[in-house]
Structure 1
């Protein structure tokens, strides 16, 4: 580990993480919102961005996936910056791309609070946010004001945007709902992620079923008309036959790739100290998901030529290395970033540079 990465790691673990985890009366969502607000403010100051890049940023190994040139192979997963408020900050923290959202066609508050739980011994989170966001039109306005458009490198890195179903929209009307979001985000998205796998919107995961998914993906691919590649994000709880249905639909619709995986409903790998939170509804992310996410990524890469973005349970550089070894083209961080900070992206970037 380089001296700079060691300094960033030590500072985050010894100072910033305890401060964040201990603030807001232990409310993880409050910590999250405070962090995004801080990043949004500093990202509008070029001098501050340059200073952060010098300290915390790192250069990864460039790669091209689905026709997009990525300056590094580690990105930010959806859910961290839902409304794109900190979109200009992520490249300074060493990310080679960032996925905004998930946004929906209609603004919505999400599920009732509390809806995020930190499982420290398990190095995990449970969330039941429910796609809380200001809506696809608001994201369009935000990115327009910031000058972030597809292909213009306005954020310094490629930007993906994840779209999902509005909660109050019936599943049978999901296609039009997704199409509305797609048209709002296409001017800004280097790729669009189709989220049909969150466990926190009733009925959403039924859209992973072969027939329903094919109908949705064909409609979205037709509307996108090659303007931006589409990726499908799947759940880790699918069986192999169900994954095969997803692969068939993705192939028939002509999507560009897959993202694996979303959060899990399983609770079988929690530390005993966190068992009191096992009954909390929502999706589990972090270290307990590592093994299953690896299995799904490996199954996908053995059974399709579509590129796979690995997400879920990537808590260390070694976890990322395993995903690359199993055929993942890119990796994404969420819970790993929460627990390890920007030093994790720096370690993965260093790993990819050595592997060149």
Structure 2
């Protein structure tokens, strides 16, 4: 006779107390050396995004919509990295591969929520570029601080609300002792391969979440750039067209850096079961690390104002020392 707790939460024997995360399974002996590039990437992520946030905070010239959205992107990328850092470094530095089911759900919730937020922020940034080019004189009156704050709150709430049903469905799946995951962090598309029960509700809900976030956001970003291109072509001077398009280069790079690894990894999980495990592991880590490592570098190089501010800040710090 099942207890009420077993009926509601699932039998304990079907849900392992811990799950095993695998970093690079065929290189266990080399994990301490593998930890070096991971530590370096985390250092670049936190240092690069931290510098972006610092210069935007201290320099009043950056207190305008474009840079507020960039700061929001930096916050989200820090959130993604902070969500995965405990398990990634535990595996490669200390060889700790077991993680409790509750900790797994917490990591998956935070990591995926921040990833969804990043997609939404990129969409908001494309709207920002459209407004700046289409109506430059009304740019700051349309995208006011309350408006940007409201967009940020809506992005956060939407992302977290989409994750709750996935957690609820996962909580009630029987795993029948299957508990080994192929990555160094909890990825929903990886986890959904383990249960021995019916995962169709999870797959349907996962497809809905992907479609309503990545699918819808990418479509609206394309629409935004079609409108931007139409507006730019209406500018009389070639120099004016170039200046307008040049303000979008960094954002276009950020969109490509985010969506290309994400789409590649999704296709691998669905259609690439026979692909090399090394390739799948490499793409999973590219998907995790590439955007937060590359975006601060791109914005620091391509955005002249940020580049100059970083140089001034570092020069001032050096002179003080």
TM-score surpassing 0.5? no
Greater share of residues in helix: 2
TM-score, reference length from structure 2: 0.28
TM-score, reference length from structure 1: 0.26
By relative contact order (CA 8 Å, sep 6+), the higher-ranking structure is 2
Greater share of residues in strand: 1
